[in-house]
Structure 1
């Protein structure tokens, strides 16, 4: 990755690493540069792993929220449909609850399946 970056910036890898290297590389300088590249590579791998773990936990949380949402809507059991809709406040609240439930039931299965697929992909080794 750092070699590609050096090529794009039209500079040498040693300059990017803050190391000035002569035209004639000796074995010590090559070893020093390779050690620095290894450290950078390990840092990038650790950042990538943390990012993947964060995404995985967010997707798991989304699945849990969807399951809790379904449990809540099942426990409500459309009770709001029996309200007196002649009362404007109850009519507005009932309409809003019905709209939220309607959208949730239609959209959340797709989001749930997408989250499960995302969780599976975060466990896949690259």
Structure 2
């Protein structure tokens, strides 16, 4: 029984590797021209540009929206890609499940988002 202990220890330590080694959120930098735009992620306010904030990972793509009074809002798709660290989970498949549920299975494709906001045309009188 004890001769397998080192192997079992390696298996348990390497479980859900992406969660352990890369975390479940990423710093994302949002900027706009003009600055001061409110940034929303799936309708939830994050703050005003320029902004660096932690964004939780999710296994699906999401929309980020920039809004500034007097300007047309702009939405961009935040895409994700496979987090290569999850491949270590080949040693223990339940780690994939943990990483997928927590969101660490993927990471954002980009860590910076920029938007140019255009003013609404003046109203005709």
TM-score normalised per structure 1: 0.28
- Normalized per residue, the structure richer in strand is 2
Q: Which one scores higher on RCO, CA 8 angstroms, separation ≥ 6?
A: 2
- Normalized per residue, the structure richer in helix is 1
- Compare CA radii of gyration and give the structure with the larger one: 1
